[in-house]
Chain A
Amino acid sequence: MSELLSPAEVQGAAERVAQLQKGLNQVLLDQTQVVEQVTAAVLARGHVLLEGLPGLGKTELCKALARLLGLPFRRIQFTPDLLPGDITGTYVLEGEGRRDFTFREGPLFANVVLADEINRSSPKTQSALLEAMQERSVTVLGQTRPLPEPFFVLATQNPIELEGTYPLPEAQLDRFLFRVQVPPVGAKTLTTLLTTRVRGTPPVLPQATDAEGLASLFAAVDRVHLPVPVADFIGRLVEASDPRGPGAPEPVRRFVRYGASPRAALALAAAGRALALMRGKPNVGFDEVVAAAPAVLNHRLVLAYEASLEKVGTLDVVRALLQAIPEVPRA
């Protein structure tokens, strides 16, 4: 059992995270919740799927995050003719005289990868991300190459333009820690945007941390204690998301076809730890789990046909789930 974080360690980590969040908030105006979730996903070493209408600043957010972290950044524009080798890399014939096949690394070989409009590529290309996101490695012609640490995939997806797109398979979705809904901004935010930026160009941000600092943050997150009652709450929450589970509430049994996987429980614990550290706590509380649950379970619940008939979304089901499952089991 590792030593519990000291107050000083927690405070130092929280200050660095706050600096990171401050920079992101300067880029993405009036989207504090989105920024918090993206930051928590980074601290939890998870991948984020940003979903929202065009022009909301999703791509700028990813670019700003890479700049703030001081990590190499690659952007992949997913198109229908994109091939797996285009993103993982491939062998090319190089040299003069005796020519050899040399492996050319693809854009995945970066610390921060922006998969822009990921649903526009074919499922074959989307599947090329599975190993990279889960194993953080790429296998080409039988040779596995590790990706650089840390490795983040920030994908964007347009929920309204469905023609010519390929919905992400469930296995692909499950590999994202969060699916963050980017809401539209209000008039006040737009006024600020118009008055402070020239042609919408975001301000140049100073680097908030580096790879070493980020690694220390990761270590601090791992030392955040997860109490047994909170872990039990996470377990019951994920179990209840399965409509065939014993504790499934009525909305889940009615509207959900498939529940969350054990990977969801791991994601909830990791997100809870990250959120706890961001909030200056050495341990995870129920509030962190409740705060992370919508973004974690949002894309892991497969709704039934009745949900679309009654216009019930996954967030509605998750909210009902959180209300139905008590923090401590009733005797």
Chain B
Amino acid sequence: MPASDERRLQALVLAPVRRVRRRLNAVLWTEAAVAPVWAAATGCVLVRMLLRDAAVWVLPVPLLAAGAWWLVRARARSVSLTHAAVLADRSAGAGGLLLTRLERPVGEWELSANQFARAVTLPPVAWKRPVGALLAALAFLGVGFLLPLPARQVRPANAAAAAKVAAVQAKAEALAREEPLGTPLEEELRRLSEEVAEGRFDSADWEAADSLEKSLEARAAKAAAELAAASEAARELEASLDAAAGAEAATREREALEKALMALGSDNAAQQRQQQGQENGNPASGNSGGAPGAGDGGTRGQQAQGQPGGSGSGGARSRDEVASLRETLERRQRELEQRFGQGNGRNGSRQGQGEGEGEGEGQEGRQGGHASRQTRQGQGKGGTGRGGESQPLVFGEQAEMDPERLAFKPLPKGQGGEAQGLWGLRSAEPQRREGGGGGGAQGTGAQGDAEAGHSTGPLLPRNRDLVKRYFGGEP
């Protein structure tokens, strides 16, 4: 094709066709941009809401993604030059002459082709809808960036969980003074603290905290029992030392008395021998014989008095040390009890022991507060005799029960109400009974008045139905 024909083609025929193409592409690209722009606007607003200050660094991501998406969509929808030529040909009514002109020279038809090219009109396009959608997206973006962000929502602290974890930590610290906690337990405590701090303390964590607290209490009870045993041993040692010191002093006094008596007897004999010597003319032998004897006796007496005195001062130091040790043990025990509070195994042990000592009965706290059920309180002089062996409970002298079954355990729902109902059975006040000790007081049980426990006492009316439902029979 000659250059002049090419220039004419470019100027007269291709120009209107390209105008048509540009117009169509503009609208199609605008339509293709609607979805990416909306997506980008939504993403930017969400990024601003979620990331706030850090949104500046993330905003390019949705913008670039939307741009890439738009390019892909726009390229797929682009109008080809042939498409635009067909539309231009149809709009000018050329009947295919413009299409022919784009493919080959038309010779004498050039004038007609040019006239048709000038008659090309831009096709009507529906631009309002995509432009409106784009403007709406931009308005949404502007509103999303101009509206003030709501204040950061502070995550509500789980006060109950925090208190629980703090209590467990306090117990762990108290126990840590007595014995090392161990790495797993410390790790679990740390994890629970983190869960509380991050607000992710859920039911599983509650269970973990409860089990951890129980294990701590069990270990604390064991440690308290060991401390109590040591304190008791110290007390007994102190008593033994006191008793030993008293016996030694009596022996020393008796020996001193004997020595004094002996010295007194030897003085009398010497005086008699001196009188006899004076009477027999040998007073010197008498004096010489008597003086050494008295001197030895005095020396030994001093030595004898000194030795017990030395051992007495050493015994006093031992007693002081033992007393100090015992006080230390008792103080640590009290601290442990104060930390772990009432109701744990250690407290029950002490309570049972105290009752055993003072009331002649006790079960070494195996049942904790329930030990009162087999208690036979002995008024008057309490012995140190322990309570008897664990006896099975008898309700209404009809049924025998294993005490373990009376351990705290909530009844199934609908079978006896809440656990507090069964707990009320335990908390009933025992009735005082005049007479000897009950069957539980064996061995060295204290004599005197005793109060019957629940095992022999009448069952409270409010508990009859409860016990009946629990055992499925007559109470």
Residues of A participating in the B interface, judged by any CB pair closer than 8 Å: 1, 3-4, 6-8, 225, 227-230, 276, 279, 281-287, 327-329, 331
B77 to chain A, nearest CB (A): 6
**Interface hit among B84-92, B288-296, B443-451:** B84-92
A229: contacting residue among B79, B85, B95, B97, CB under 8 A = B85
6 contacts between A and B (CB under 8 A): A6-B108, A228-B82, A283-B100, A284-B96, A285-B95, A331-B77
A331 touches B103 (CB 8 A): no
Kindly list chain A residues whose C-beta atoms are within 8 Å of the C-beta of B254: none
With the chains together, A256 CA to B52 CA distance in Å?
Answer: 62
**B107 touching A281, Cβ below 8 Å:** no
- Min CB–CB distance B14 → chain A (angstroms): 15
B residues apposed to A, CB below 8 Å: 76-80, 82-83, 85-87, 89-90, 94-97, 99-100, 103-109, 112
Give every chain B residue within 8 A of A227 (Cβ-Cβ). 96, 99-100, 103
Select one of B76, B82, B106, B108 contacting A328, CB under 8 A: B82
**Residue from the list B90, B103, B112 in contact with A327, Cβ < 8 A:** B90
Report the Cα distance A33→B83, complex, angstroms.
31
Q: How far is the CA of A143 from the CA of B108 in the complex (A)?
A: 48
The CA of A70 and the CA of B103, in the complex, are separated in Å by 38
Are the CB atoms of A230 and B82 closer together than 8 Å?
Answer: no
Bound together, the chains give a CA A1 to CA B76 distance in angstroms of 34
By beta carbon, the residue of chain A nearest B84 is A328
Q: A1-B104, A227-B99, A282-B97 provided; 20 other pairs, C-beta below 8 A?
A: A4-B106, A7-B108, A7-B109, A8-B108, A225-B100, A227-B96, A227-B103, A228-B103, A230-B99, A281-B95, A282-B100, A282-B106, A282-B109, A283-B96, A285-B94, A328-B83, A329-B83, A331-B77, A331-B79, A331-B83
Minimum distance in angstroms from B198 CB to a CB of chain A: 53
Bound Cα distance from A3 to B78, whole angstroms: 34
Known: A327-B90, A328-B83, A331-B83. A281 touches B96 (CB 8 A): yes
**A331:B97 contact, CB within 8 angstroms:** no
Q: B126 → chain A, closest Cβ, in Å? A: 15
Min distance, Cβ A12 to any Cβ of chain B, angstroms: 13
Q: Which chain A residues lie closer than 8 Å to B82 at the CB level?
A: 228-229, 328
B78, B82, B85 — which one has the most chain A CB atoms within 10 A of its CB? B82
Does B95 contact A327, Cβ atoms closer than 8 Å?
no
The 4 closest A-B pairs by CB, nearest first: A285-B96, A227-B99, A285-B95, A283-B100
- In the assembled complex, how far is the CB of residue B431 from the closest CB belonging to chain A, in whole angstroms? 97
CB distance from B20 to the nearest CB of A (A): 12
CB-nearest residue of chain B to A7: B108
Q: Is the CB of A229 within 8 A of B86?
A: yes
Asked if residues B76 and A331 are in contact (CB atoms below 8 Å), the reply is yes
Nearest B residue to A286 by beta-carbon distance? B96
What residues of A have a CB within 8 angstroms of the CB of B78 in the complex? 331
CA distance A4 to B78 in the complex (A): 32
- Which residues of chain B come closer than 8 Å to A276, judged between CB atoms? 95-96
The answer for the CA separation of A121 and B328 in the assembled complex, in Å, is 133
> Are the C-beta atoms of A328 and B86 separated by less than 8 Å?
yes
A7 to B110, CA, bound (A): 11
Task: Give the distance to chain A from B302, nearest Cβ to Cβ, in Å.
Answer: 131
How close is A74's CB to chain B, nearest CB, in angstroms?
38
Q: Which of B77, B95, B100, B107 contacts A3 (CB 8 A)?
A: B107
**Nearest CB of A to B280, in Å:** 164
